[in-house]
Amino acid sequence: MASTTSLSFVLALAVFAIFSSPAFSTSRRALEHPKMQKGFRVRLRHVDSGKNLTRFERIQHGVKRGRNRLQRLKAMALVASSSSEIESPVLPGNGEYLMKLAIGTPPETYSAILDTGSDLIWTQCKPCTQCFDQSNPIFDPKKSSSFSKLSCSSQLCEALPQTSCNDGCEYLYTYGDYSSTQGILASETLTFGKASVPNVAFGCGADNEGSGFSQGAGLVGLGRGPLSLVSQLKEPKFSYCLASVDDTTKTSTLLMGSLASVNASSSAIKTTPLIHNPAQPSFYYLSLEGISVGDSRLPIKKSTFSLQDDGSGGLIIDSGTTITYLEESAFNLVAKEFTSQINLPVDSSGSTGLEVCFTLPSGSTNIEVPKMVFHFDGADLELPAENYMIGDASMRVACLAMGSSNGMSILGNVQQQNMLVLHDLEKETLSFLPAQCDLL
């Protein structure tokens, strides 16, 4: 008999598993490095927070945004695998979570999009040639005593994908949906709660165009490149814990520096190496070796999720993509096995926006679904059922929160919910630890 787990449906899929909270190192003593304190914590807010949506509707909205992000990520892969030169690099942009921070002296508070798929930290700056609307006043560097432009000879200026040198180090970041930010690379003090971090390189954007940025006043890049927030810290690691999207009143958390550390038994924490892709050095690539559904290890070729010599392929973990996208051949095997084990009629109406859905029995509030395990290099990650099945009893539908892709696979944020996900850039590892994120 296939291994299964139980799910409950009320108006939407209900969380049924109870997780234990990990133990955190909470010391806040200063680092020897003058830049920052030992670590800091930031609360994250989902972009759909406060909207009157069911869990299923939130994920549907996220899937629409995620498809756009997937296309941008795939465009980057195509550019990386092409030998032709382009006018400006294409970057992913956007995200699903917002963080609050302050910039300058005295500090001015604003919200920014958290993006693990890019590096640059940037916000809109006066005087604006072109700026989108934002809820907080646009940052005026002339009013900050800690603002200073970075020279064209600085290492971080040289790390930018495209620069020119007129009035300091000028940058251009172009995103795959034709959004862009253009301005001056500068140094400034950023404040996260009570923790102030001086001398952080950021983009002071005077020409910011396109869709997708209006949720915040800029982006905070958490990629692996030298310009990202995590790379500019003395202790280059961070973790996030994303609360279940069934209730947007629950808070998610970002932990930076030493606060990202966890003390856990070896059986509770699952750790896998980060893979480096020279063509896309900012992304967090993982080595996914296989997938099990129920008791069946699927006959997926090990090369399916491998990085190719030209930099295409592979699987990345991304906080800014809602559901997981698997290479089409692997997804088809997952869908086939799932359908054979779940014992529910397939919903083929196409009304949900998801690729694999089932019709729930009338009046049913509980269903049995097969277990799912992702087999990473050195880590077998068993997903809680609510991390891969979503549903709505009022619609009488339950769907697999995954989709198919070509050229790149992505582990999305639904699959990461209620897990502490630790990115350690020094050790080049990524770890998963079950957690009740809204209680951290």
- Cα distances from 166 to residues 151, 155, 185, 187, 323, in angstroms, run 10, 17, 12, 17, 43
- Cα distances from 221 to residues 120, 248, 439, in angstroms, run 5, 23, 26
The residue from 115, 119, 246, 392 that is catalytic is 115
What strands, in cross-sheet order, belong to the sheet with 4-9?
Answer: 13-14, 4-9, 366-370
**Residue 387 carries which DSSP code?**
G
Render 244-279 in DSSP notation, one character per residue.
PTT-TTS-EEEEEEGGG-EE--TTT-EEEEEEP-TT
Q: Is 295 a catalytic residue?
A: no
The residue from 48, 177, 318, 347 that is catalytic is 318
Q: Is 115 a catalytic residue?
A: yes
Environment class of 208 (CB within 10 Å of its CB; exposed 0-12, middle 13-18, buried 19+): buried
- Cα distances from 355 to residues 348, 360, 376, in angstroms, run 9, 16, 24
Note whether 44 and 424 are within 8 A (CB): no
| Collapsed DSSP state (helix, strand, coil) of residue 4 | strand
Residues 6+ apart with CB under 8 A from 81: 279, 308, 310, 311, 312
Render 338-383 in DSSP notation, one character per residue.
HHHHH-S-B--S--SS-SSEEEPPTT--EEEEE-EEEEETTEEEEE
Catalytic residues: 115, 318
